[in-house]
Structures are given as C-alpha cells and as structure tokens.
Structure 1
Amino acid sequence: MTSVDDYRRAVLELIESGAEESGRLEHASTLIARSLSTGGVLHVFGSGHSMLPAIDATFRAGGLAPVNLLHDPGLAPWEPTRVSRIERLVGYGTALAQLQDLRRGEVVVIISHSGINPVPIEVAQQAHGQGLSVVAITSRTHSLATASRHPEGLRLLDVADVVLDTHAPEGDVTLTLEDGTETGPTSTILATLLLHSLAIGAMEQLGADGIALPVLRSMNRSGGDDSNAAVLEPFRGRLSREP
C-alpha cells in the first residue's frame, strides 16, 4: 500500500462521510431551485483555493447556466501572499458584496475551508442583509478547532442559513509521509463535489416541477454553442464571466 493508495482511500472515505449532508443538501437545492424558477441567479464565492470550486461551477458543461462568480482578482489563488492578507481585512468582504448585483430571494454559496476569516463571513452577512439565502460549504472540524479572525469571533457556519460540511480534516491534510510531512489535501475536491451536487439537486427539482432546465452543454459538441447562447440569453448582464 503506497501513500497514493492511502490518499485515494482517504478521499473516498470523506466522500462517503458526505452522505450525512443529504438532508441539508436537499434543503439548499430547494432554495436554489425556488430562486431559479423565478428568474434568479445563483451566486458563488470563495477566496484563495476556495475560489477554484466556485470557478468550476461557472460556465461548466453540464452545469447550471445562471451561476455568477463573485470574483475579486485580489483574492485569486495564483497570488497566495496577497490573498492571505486581503481575506483577513475587516470591511473588505462587505465592500465586495455591496458592489455585486445581489437580489432578494436569490442564493449565494460561500466556500471556505476554515470559515474563520473576515472576508467570506462579511460577504455572507451582507448577502443575508440584502435578502439572499446563504449556503456555506466549510469544514466544521477545522473551523471549530481554530480561533476566528472575525472581530466578533464569528465563523462562516455561524452566519449561514444552510451549512454543508465537507468533513475535510483540520489543516486539510489526510496523511503523513515517512519523513513526517503532512499532505493529502481534500477541501477543494470535496467542496467541488458539494457544489455540483447542489446544482444537480436543483435541476432535479426544477425538472419535477416541469420547468425547462437552464443547463449548459459542451461547446465542443455539435450544436453546443447555439444551445448555450439560447440558455444564457435571459441572464445577459448578470453573469460576471459571460462568454
């Protein structure tokens, strides 16, 4: 058994642990489906590596079309030193959210492994104050084991309407190599799985209600471009990464 085998097993075990989130997933999917059925947009946010699942949910073949990335270049994962400082700045998340086109009745999914930095917490608070439902994707284990950096001691899981636990371990490591090196990150994999599960759950509920599904096709399949143009048309001007 190699370390790669151990890592694969750890990931699969954590994915299985995610079955505990089924009820909360269904509830969050219902909120999303309800918003989309009235022309709403699903907003997604993450900073640093937590931005990667959010990016993956936008303009994704097989994914929902009306997904808007709350994007700030200063929080992008390719500038880790900048991110680590900015996501701790009090007031930054509030300002970021205030600049977005967030509308009452819509849903925002906020991804943060630790859930302890001010920026994702403030985005959640501002969105909630504007009448949106807030779904958090976070690790309860890590969050509760680490002191909050929010001035009021809040964590993301304290300010969300629905909390989806990735079950990723503290420090986001799943194994230790022979030399003592801790490795095996899982938070991005698990958050991505939960985010796509939310979308699929919303699609299922919309379909059950007889509502046409606003789902994108691969642009590399015949007819994909035309199909996507049609499904995106009602949301023009509301999506930050429009093709």
Structure 2
Amino acid sequence: MNAIEAYRRAVIDLLAETSSQDQILATASRRTAESLRSGGVLHVFGSGHSMLPAIDATFRAGGLAPVHLLHDPSLAPWEPTRVSRVERLPGYGTAIVDLQDLRRGEVLVVLSHSGINPVPVELAQRARDRGLCVVAITSRRHSLASASRHPDGLRLLDVADLVLDTGAPEGDVALTLPDGTETGPTSTIVATMLLHALAIGAMEQLIADGAAPPVLRSMNRADGDATNERVLAPFRGRLSREP
C-alpha cells in the first residue's frame, strides 16, 4: 500500500468509526430542529483550520439556510501566526460571544481539533451560560494527550453539552512516510462530515414533524436565487455576510 492509499484508508476508517456516535448526532440534530422550529438559527464557530468546516456549512447549497458563522478575522486560517496567539488569550472567547446575537434554546457548534485553547473553551462556557446548547466537534485523542492552556485546565470536551469526536490522531497526522515525515491531516474532513450530518439530521427531523426544512439551493440552478431569497427572508439580520 502506497502513501496515497494509506491516507485514503485512514480517512475512510475514521469516517466509518463515527457511526458509533449516531445517537449523539441524533440528539444534536433534534435540538437543532427544535430551535429552527422556534425561529432560531444554528451558530457555528472554529478558529484556524477548524474554521473551515464552519465556513463550509455557511450559505452552503443543499445546507441549512439559517447558519450563522461567528467569524473573527484574527482567528482566520490564513493568519496562522496570529491565530496561534489570539486563540490562547484568556477572555477573548467570552468577548466574542458577548458581541453576538445568541438566543436561549439555540444551538452553537464549536469546532476545535485540540480543544485545549482558552478561546473555544470560554466561548462554549459563555454560550451555555446564555442558555444555548453547545455541541463540540473535537478530537478526544489529541485533546486528552495535550495539556490544556485554559487557566482552569479545562478542555472543550469538558464544557460542551454534546461532544462529537473526529477520532483524528494527536497532531492531526494519520501516517508516517518512510523517512519519518508525519503527514495525513484528517480533522477537517471528518469534522466537515459531522457538521453536515448534524444539519441533515435536523432537516430529516423537521420533515418528520411536518415542517419544511429551510434549505438553500445552488445559485447556479434554475430558480436558485429566488428560492434562496425566500428561504433566507425570515432570518435576515441574524446571519453573517448575508448574500
């Protein structure tokens, strides 16, 4: 088996292993559907590369329309040096939440591969204090193998209501090449699947309850723009960077 095949197998295996968390996913989806039925939105947050799955779920064709990205430019993945410093700042995560329109009963998904830095931990804590259901998407393997940088020694998995485990290995490297080079990142792929699965489960729950799920259509398909305008209309003013 060459390196490409080994990497593909590692990704497939991790995706398959998430089936053990189907009950947690179902609960997260149900809580999301309940919030949407009440006019709520789904909030998503990640810093660094953990922001990528959150971005992918926002204004996504075939995805839920009312998805709000808690976006902070200082935590964007294209600023890696800045991110590594900012996400370790105590108090920064609390400030992010305090600047957002987050409402009791809504769901916030916090994505962090390591889950050891103050920003995602504080953000989850503050959101729970405000009555939101916090879903963590993180790697237990990496998180438990690393020392927390939170002042109280907390990890994201300690403070979330529900935890979805990517299973990604410590350091987010799934294989070692013959010369000892470690490579094969998997956290973004698995986290993206878990977040989309959560949203799809919420759609299924809404349909089962007799409600039409607010789902976006590709703007490059017939009636895409008109459909999206109609679906997004009830949530105007609550979504980041609205189209």
TM-score by length of 1: 0.99
Equivalent pairs counted in the alignment come to 243
Q: Which residue of 2 aligns with 1:163?
A: 163
- 1:204 maps to amino acid: E
Note if contact 1:116-1:147 (Cα within 8 Å) is conserved in structure 2: yes
Partner of 1:26: 26
- Superposed CA RMSD: 0.4
**Partner Cα distance (2:210, 2:153) in 1:** 44
Cα distance in structure 1, aligned partners of 2:218 and 2:114: 33
**Amino acid corresponding to residue 195 of structure 1 in structure 2:** L
Mapping of residues 108-147 of structure 1, within 5 Å = 108-147=108-147
Q: How do residues 21-170 of structure 1 correspond to structure 2 at under 5 angstroms?
A: 21-170=21-170
Partner of 1:11: 11
Instruction: Specify the code of the residue in structure 2 equivalent to 1:125.
Output: Q
Match in the other structure for 2:195: 195
Q: Which amino acid aligns with 1:211?
A: A
Q: Give the Cα separation in 1 of the matches to 2:64 and 2:154.
A: 31
Matched residues in 1 for 2:241 and 2:21: separation?
30
Q: Is the 8 A contact 1:217 1:228 kept in 2?
A: yes
Q: Is the 8 A contact 1:109 1:134 kept in 2?
A: yes
Which whole-Å CA distance do the structure 2 matches of 1:97 and 1:39 have between them? 20
Letter matched to residue 38 of structure 1: S
Letter in 2 for 1:89: L
Stretches of structure 2 lacking an aligned partner (at least 5 in a row): none
Q: Which one-letter code corresponds to 1:87 in the other structure?
A: E
Quote how far apart the aligned CAs of 1:2 are. 1.3
| Alignment TM-score, normalising by the size of structure 2 | 0.99
Q: What amino acid maps onto 2:173 in structure 1?
A: V
Aligned counterparts of 2:229 and 2:147: Cα–Cα separation in 1: 46
Gaps of 5+ in 1: none
Q: AA paired with 1:4?
A: I
- Give distance in 2, aligned partners of 1:64 and 1:132: 18
Task: Provide, for residues 112-151 of structure 1, a one-character-per-residue CA deviation record: whole Å limited to 9, x for no partner.
Answer: 0000000000110110011100000000111001000000
Displacement of 1:18 in angstroms is 0.6
Letter of the structure 1 residue corresponding to residue 140 of structure 2: R
Secondary structure of 2:163's counterpart equals strand
Runs of 4+ in 1 over 2 A off after TM superposition: none
For 2:20 and 2:166, the matched residues in 1 are separated by 10
* Structure 2 Cα separation of the partners of residues 221 and 240 of structure 1: 23
Q: What SS does the corresponding residue of 2:204 show, helix, strand or coil?
A: helix
CA displacement, residues 152-186 of structure 1 (integer Å, 9 cap, x when unaligned): 00000000000000111111011001110000000
Distance (Å, rounded) in 2 between the aligned partners of 1:77 and 1:149:
20
1:108 match: secondary structure: strand
Q: What is aligned with 1:183?
A: 183
